[in-house]
Structures are given as structure tokens and as C-alpha cells.
Amino acid sequence: MAAVSRSEVIEFKMNTALRVPVVALIALTAGACATPATQQGPARLVLNEEAHSLQFLLNDQEAFVYQFAPNFAIPHVWPLNSPSGKSLLVQKTEPFSHHRSLWIVDKVQLNDGVVTDFYHEWSNYRDKENPEAGHHSFIRHESFSEITDSSATANLTWVVQEDQPVLDQTWHIAIEDRKDGQYVLDMSWELTAAYGPVKFHSDWVHYAWPYLRMDPTFSGEQGGIIASDDGRVGQKATNDQYANWMDYSNTINGVTEGLTVFTPQDGKQRKWLTREYGTFGPRRPDSLSGSKFVLEQGESLTGSVHILVHKGGVASSAVGDEVARRQ
């Protein structure tokens, strides 16, 4: 049973403003396996090139990990750990085995070429009878351009049909301490049509920027609560609705924890996809949402979110403090 009631959520009606912090960055020289950055505060990053992972530590405890192993076809963040050490997100699950914890994908087309669905990554297997043969279309992690004690910038390429690049992407990820095991994951990204015009074939169900897939134990199907900034609760009330932020929390073995995803307060409204089984995420602004808009060659598409990992439910002081901090 979740600790936060519907009435408590409805009372918690507050608007928010998101200001993505500018983080000073330094160039990264290629490091050895499991290479830590110089520690100057509670945050520390550890790069493990053999495991294709970049671990974000807070007070020497793992907060989350950026995963870029090529067998997954999609770079993603997993795990994303709660203050008590539970995994809030799931890396791979059934059904919908293509979900990847915390990730950014879409369906795109370069010029008049093939339409490639990066969301359903299994549709891009070289041999569908032998998944171990890998993918012919994938999002490839190329390098880290910058790493600090608390942030990193990854360079990625969206590739179709083995060797045709479609989009260049940078993905910046940072961590901020919120004490008592609570923290913020800040993400920002930029996709550039460097190889020609790119048409986006997004549909309503199969994209969110970013998508998150809650661990089943935190899902609405197991007692978790989806709640928006204006007090709406549950999938029926929040799906396909505008919100500045969305919270997903649950009580497990007497401990209530969750996460809140804040979108930029830039004057552009964003609708959300929400599901009781655990998937949710914000759309792009309406003018760049839906399907079949074109990113002309040289143009870029940017975005950001601010994710608070917190103790308690949506009515907790941690969420209230974060909302006030961003007003």
C-alpha cells in the first residue's frame, strides 16, 4: 500500500520552473578500465571501458550508471538507484523487451531513404532468428568529450543499415547531491542533422524524450502512484495531458521512495505518456511532436530534463523543496 493518498496529492498543486544548471566541463583523455575522476566533492565518476559503463557515485555509493555496451543498440541509464539502494528502473523486461530503463529513441528517415525505428530495436536485428548477431541499425556511443567529478558528455551517432549515419547526438549527464541519499540527475541532449534532412516519423505511443521504465515493484500495477504537478493521479488522469513535472513513487517494505521528472520551464507546453505498468515520459513541445516534421541539414533538436530521486511520495518535503527551488 502506498503511503501517499489521492487527497494528499490533490492538495499538492504547485507549478514549477526548471533551470538546467550550466556545469563547468574539462576535456577527458582516454582512460584505463575503471578510471575515476579526481574527487573534489561528494560526487565521483568511474569509467569502466571493458564493461562499457560510466558509474556516477555519490558519497561512494552508486547512484546511476550510463550504459553504452553495443549489444543493447541503445545507450541508456541503468540502474537508477533509490536512496535506500533499490533499482527504480528496469533495464529489460517482458513484455516490451525493447525498453531500456531511461533512454532516448525515435523513428527517423534520412532524405528519401529507409524509415528506421530505433524504438523497436528488435526490428533492426541482422538475423531475427539469431539476436546474438547484433543490429544493422543502432545508436552508437562514439566517445566521451568531457568528464568532471559530477558530469559527463557523450558523443553518439544514429546509424542505419550498418554504416549510414543519420544523426549526431551529444548527451550531457550530471549529478547533484540533495543529501540523505537523495540526488538530481540532470540530462540535456542535442541531435544534429549533419548528413542531410531528417524526417521524424514519431507516433503517440512510441516516443517520449526521455522514456523511463519503472521497475515493476514501483509500478502503478503494484501500488505505485503517478502524480502530476496539478494534482492529477493515475494513468487515466495524466496520460496525454500537459504537465510541468510528473512523479512516480511507491512504498516497498515500508519505505516510500520515487522520482520526479521536471521539464524545462521555457514557455512551451509538453504532454506526457503515462502507464500504470511503469512506462512514462514527456513529449517534445507540440510544434515538434507528432509525426513527419523535418529537421533540415545542419539544424539541431535539443531537450533536457531534471530528475529528482527522493525519499517519500509526491507530497514529501523533498519534492516540495525541489519545486520551490525551481520557481
DSSP, residue by residue, 86-147: -BSB-SS-SS-TT--SEE---EEEETTS-EEESSSGGGGBS-TT-GGG-BSSEEEEEEEEEE
Contact 149, 39 (CB under 8 A): yes
pLDDT at residue 161 in the model: 84
Q: Is the pLDDT of residue 195 over 80?
A: yes
Q: 263-317, pLDDT tens digit by residue?
A: 998 989 999 999 999 999 999 998 888 767 899 999 999 999 999 999 999 999 9
CA distance readout (Å), 284 to 107, 202, 305 = 14, 11, 11
> Which CATH number does the domain 6-12+104-325 belong to among 3.40.50, 2.60.40, 3.30.160, 2.70.98?
2.70.98
* Average pLDDT score over the chain: 85
User: Could you tell me the pTM of the whole model?
Assistant: 0.85
Q: What is the pLDDT of residues 76-130, one digit of tens each?
A: 999 999 999 999 999 877 666 665 689 899 999 999 999 998 877 666 666 778 7
Mean pLDDT of 194-199: 97
Minimum mean pLDDT range among 41-55, 70-84, 97-111, 244-258: 97-111
Whether the pLDDT of residue 137 is over 80: the answer is no
pLDDT digits (tens, 9 = 90+) for 298-310: 999 999 999 999 9
pLDDT at 118: 80
More confident residue, 153 or 120: 153
pLDDT of residue 30: 36
- The grid cell for 117 is 525505428
Q: What is the pLDDT of residue 32?
A: 40
**Burial zone of 80 (CB within 10 Å; 0-12 exposed, 13-18 middle, 19+ buried):** buried
- The H or E element spanning position 169 is strand 164-177
229: cell is: 504537478
Class of residue 56 by CB neighbours under 10 A (exposed 0-12, middle 13-18, buried 19+)? buried
Q: Is the separation of the CB atoms in 304 and 270 below 8 Å?
A: no
